[in-house]
A = this chain, B = another copy of it.
């Protein structure tokens, strides 16, 4: 397999990167909901931690029954078992990333996993 894969994401309702980039440690989706729209179901996960990053617009998450306001620049970690549902605001759409990773899978990172090759 090549040492890298690249793709360009254009505006669509949902783009899933796992297969496009041959990811092995995460699934990443780029999602957009128009004003007034919401994901039509509540979901949880068996093993996966989800991290949501709000790219534009605003909306809310409902997590275990609690309303969490979301706007561009917000980042949210959701534990696997938490029950979650996402909505755009009534007046404005929302674009967000959803990053799925296996909870507790990360060992070292940054300086503890990186190797400086040359400087």
Contact = CB atoms under 8 A, between A and B. Distances in A.
Given A26-B26, A106-B24, A3 B64 contact: yes
B42 A116 contact: yes
Count copies of this chain in the complex: 2
Interface in A72-119: 73-79, 81-83, 97, 99-110, 113-119
A63 interface: yes
Interface residues of A, number: 70
Interface of A: 1-10, 16-18, 20-28, 40-49, 51, 53, 55, 61, 63-64, 68, 71, 73-79, 81-83, 97, 99-110, 113-119
Given A6-B77, A18-B106, 15 more contacts: A4-B79, A8-B74, A9-B74, A23-B49, A23-B106, A25-B26, A27-B109, A41-B116, A43-B115, A44-B114, A48-B108, A55-B55, A101-B105, A101-B106, A102-B106
